Structure 1
Amino acid sequence: MTAERRAVVLTGAGRANSIANAIALALADDGWDVAFTTWTAYETRVPLGADPEEGANALAAQLAHRGARWLRIETDLADPATPDRVLAEASASLGPVRGLVLSHSESVDSSIADTTVESFDRHFAVNVRAAWLLIRAFAAQVPSSGGRIVALTSDHVAHNLPYGSSKGALDRIVRAAAVELGPQAITANLVDPGPVDTGWMDASTREALLARQPTGRLGVPGDTARLVRFLLSDEAEWVTGQLIHSDGGFSS
């Protein structure tokens, strides 16, 4: 990979306090141009205390301030036609895409007894099928010099059944990508950020998670962003097929 500006597709951005937004800004600082996806209907349906439209506009302004070209793609990743369109629009606007960061998710808490078929299917459409199709579309257009894939995952399963099980399937897809796409000089890795407060924690949740955190604090979006920027860098070319727990010891 060379030193010229590179293009990355980053899914699930928009909210100002999200992990994806922190990743976008970190990558812009490293010379990446950023195409980011948003889906306002989901952010409205599952509100996390921030205006998604304001967040997306602020992200675009901050990317431009850093000298990065940017492209916002508003799209529902549950639509199987979306991934090809996202990569096509990004490459047409920013040039060949050399990085893919999967930070989107459908995440609606439910357990074995009360998960609906509709919810289960949507989690897998967004978190699994879209990831596979995005990876496939990315690999089809990546330059011969290679590229980087990073996906955010989670160990949370109990009482979050459709989300947790879909993340398990995502893990297997990314591990397969590391092997199958290795001959194209594409690396593929997973990052489990652990508990990062992006607006979804109430006071009791925060207290309970802090009690299990050996470092004495919860994660912040910048913690994840620093690792992702490394995994997309030239220095990480020998790191692939890994699931990295970047969680301050939470999973130990």
Structure 2
Amino acid sequence: MTGKTALITGAGRANSIAHATALALADDGWDIAFTTWTAYEARVPLGSDPERGATELDAELRRRGAGSLRIEADLADPATPDRVLAEAEAELGPVSALVLSHAESVDSSIADTTVESFDRHFAVNVRAAWLLIRAFAAQAPADGGRIVALTSDHVVHNLPYGASKGALDRIVEAASGELAERGITANLINPGPIDTGWMDASTREFLTARQPTGRLGTPEDTARLIRFLASEDAAWVTGQLIHSEGGFRR
């Protein structure tokens, strides 16, 4: 083990931002605990084998010299966040970086969103984030820590997802103020449209046409920014919502 540990949620798929982030942080000397939730990946398939992705991530982290711990975690269960932090700390030591990259994301609109779906989005995307931050802060090292969360402003015809991400923004903003005296920073990244398996060909073409760069963002683009925010160089950056979108035009 390297002596500093990051917990990254939602790292089941090989094409995910969390997967890319885990590898980037490992290259900077972090040990990595990461969560997966197989039942969600089966319910919302996004073009890759989550079991294979998690197994390959664990193997690659170890190959790069990092400690690695996979935790299967149903974040809709309010008991899960405390368990996840406890397992990560017991196996790899105190967690000093928390990257919130998990999400419940099922498209629906004002008229057809069900109460069950709405509640599930808020349980996973909002309540679990609050509980993970609380559990993280309770065990964070005395010399501080880092919280980075992924957000989105996509809400039209994506109501429960977008609304829950708006609530997440406020929780992270609160953390940036309430935890600052302990040297813990808290920031949000809006990565814009990243093809992590959810785009079909027409969606990819439509969104690419709105990128001044002429290309869509990649998981690695976002991972590089997370890598910075988790570093000592970012100690003076907190309470920010950073639009890292390549100039995306809505």
Question: For this structure pair, what is the TM-score category when the shorter chain's length is used for normalisation?
Answer: over 0.9
| TM-score between both structures, scaled by the size of structure 1 | 0.98
Contact 1:245 1:251 in 2 (8 A): no
Q: How far 1:34 moved relative to its partner? A: 0.4
Task: Pick the aligned partner of 1:75 from 69, 73, 91.
Answer: 73
SS at match of 2:213: coil
SS at match of 2:233: helix
- 2:240 corresponds to: 242
- 2:114 corresponds to: 116
TM-superposition CA deviations, 1:195-235 (whole Å, max 9, x none): 10011000110111011111110000000000000000000
1:8-157 correspondence runs (5 A): 8-157=6-155
Question: Could you tell me how far apart the structure 1 residues matched to 2:7 and 2:196 are?
Answer: 21
Give structure 1 regions of 4+ aligned residues with deviation exceeding 2 angstroms.
Answer: none
Unpaired stretches in structure 2, ≥5 consecutive residues:
none
Contact 1:197 1:218 in 2 (8 A): yes
Question: Could you tell me how far apart the structure 2 residues matched to 1:184 and 1:138 are?
Answer: 12
- 1:170 corresponds to: 168
SS at match of 1:178: helix
Question: Could you tell me how far apart the structure 1 residues matched to 2:139 and 2:165 are?
Answer: 25
Question: Could you tell me how far apart the structure 2 residues matched to 1:79 and 1:239 are?
Answer: 32
Task: Pick the aligned partner of 2:215 from 214, 217, 220.
Answer: 217
Name the % identity: 78
Question: Could you tell me how far apart the structure 2 residues matched to 1:96 and 1:73 are?
Answer: 16
Contact 1:194 1:251 in 2 (8 A): no
Question: Could you tell me how far apart the structure 2 residues matched to 1:125 and 1:148 are?
Answer: 23
Question: Could you tell me how far apart the structure 2 residues matched to 1:20 and 1:124 are?
Answer: 20
RMSD: 0.8
- 1:208 corresponds to: 206
Contact 2:153 2:162 in 1 (8 A): yes
Q: How far 1:251 moved relative to its partner? A: 5.0
Letter in 2 for 1:162: P
The total of aligned residue pairs comes to 249
Contact 1:15 1:51 in 2 (8 A): yes
SS at match of 2:57: helix
Q: How far 1:5 moved relative to its partner? A: 3.0
